[in-house]
Amino acid sequence: MELLGLGNAFALIGGAMAVFLAGAGSAIGIGIAGRSAAGVLTEKPERYGINFIMVVLPGTQGFYGFLGGFLVVQNLGLLDPSYSITLSWQQGLMIFAACLPIAFTGLVSAIHQGKVCAGGIMMAAKRPEMAFKAGVVYAVMVEVYAILGLLVTLFMLNSVDWAALKEAAIAVGN
C-alpha cells in the first residue's frame, strides 16, 4: 500500500496533531496534579484513592485525541491492506481541520484540568469531605470542553463520505 497525494499527508498530519497535542496536554495535566498528590500523600497516605481519581482525570483528553487520530488512520485504509484512499488536497485539508477541535481543546483543557485537580487535591488534604463536591466536580466542568471538542471532531469526520471514497479507491484498483 502506497500513500499518494498531498491530501493524505494533510489528513495524517491532522490525525497526528489530534493525538500529539491532546496527549501532550494530558501528560502535562497529569504531571501538575501528580506533583500535588505526591506532596499530600507523604503526610496523608490515606487520601490515595481520591487523589488517584484527580490525578488521572486530565488523562482523558489524550484518549479523545487518540480516538480522533485513530478514526483518520482507519478511514484512510491504513489498517486494511485491501484498499487505500487517495485524497485530493481539499479533502485532506477538510480532514486536517476536522482534527483541530480535539487537538486544541484537548491540549488546553487537560493542562487546566490538571491545575484544577491540583487545587482539589490540596483542598481535600485539609477538608476531605469536600474532595468530591469541589475537587472532582470542578475538574469535570473543565472536561466538558474537551468532550465538546471531541464531538465537533467526530461530527466533522462523520461528514466525510468515507464509503464513496472507499468505493472510488476500490474501483481504480487501490
Where residue 1 falls among pLDDT bands split at 50, 70, 90?
very low
Q: Rounded to two decimals, what is the model's pTM?
A: 0.88
Is it the case that residue 132 has pLDDT exceeding 50? yes
Write out the three cell numbers for 44. Answer: 496523608
Between residues 27 and 159, which one has the greater pLDDT? 27
Between residues 120 and 4, which one has the greater pLDDT? 120
In order of 30, 37, 174, the CA distances from 45 in angstroms are 19, 10, 58
Average pLDDT, the chain: 90
| Per-residue pLDDT at 55 | 95
Is it the case that residue 174 has pLDDT exceeding 60? no
User: What is the CATH superfamily name and number for domain 6-171?
Assistant: lithium bound rotor ring of v- atpase (1.20.120.610)
pLDDT digits (tens, 9 = 90+) for 35-65: 999 999 999 888 888 899 999 999 999 999 9
Spell out the domain ranges in the chain.
6-171
